[in-house]
């Protein structure tokens, strides 16, 4: 599609080099200040937060920015502006 960058690939001999994707530029006008919340859930004893619980956190300004599991624990990371 015109206007969309192509994904870089290894060019074949005799073929033209594809366009490269340019990273987005982000301008920060103020120093960003965040506070973080780390929630650890033992999956053997309880389930992950319900949609209602996550919506309550969102209403308080918390944004889920990372999640992973390790053994029987789920780690959820939230952030919000200070």
Annotated domain spans of the chain: 34-81
Residue appearing with tokens 């960003």: 32
**Three-state DSSP state, 51:** helix
**Rounded mean pLDDT, 7-31:** 67
59 has which bridge partners? none
Q: Determine the Cα–Cα distance for residues 44 and 3; give it in Å rounded to an integer.
A: 49
* Mean pLDDT, rounded, of the chain: 82
Residue 57 has pLDDT above 70, yes or no: yes
Q: What is the pTM of this model?
A: 0.60
Q: Determine the Cα–Cα distance for residues 29 and 47; give it in Å rounded to an integer.
A: 40
Q: How confident is the model at residue 58 (pLDDT cuts 50, 70, 90)?
A: very high
Percent of the chain with pLDDT over 70: 71
**Rounded mean pLDDT, 26-33:** 73
Q: Determine the Cα–Cα distance for residues 78 and 80; give it in Å rounded to an integer.
A: 7
């Amino acid at each position: 599609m015109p206007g969309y960058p192509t994904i870089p690939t290894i060019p074949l001999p005799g073929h033209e080099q594809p366009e490269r994707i340019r990273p987005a530029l982000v301008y920060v006008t103020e120093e960003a200040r965040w506070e973080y919340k780390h929630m650890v859930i033992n999956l053997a004893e309880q389930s992950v937060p319900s949609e209602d619980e996550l919506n309550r956190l969102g209403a308080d300004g918390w944004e889920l920015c990372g999640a992973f599991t390790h053994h029987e624990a789920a780690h959820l990371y939230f952030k919000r502006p200070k």
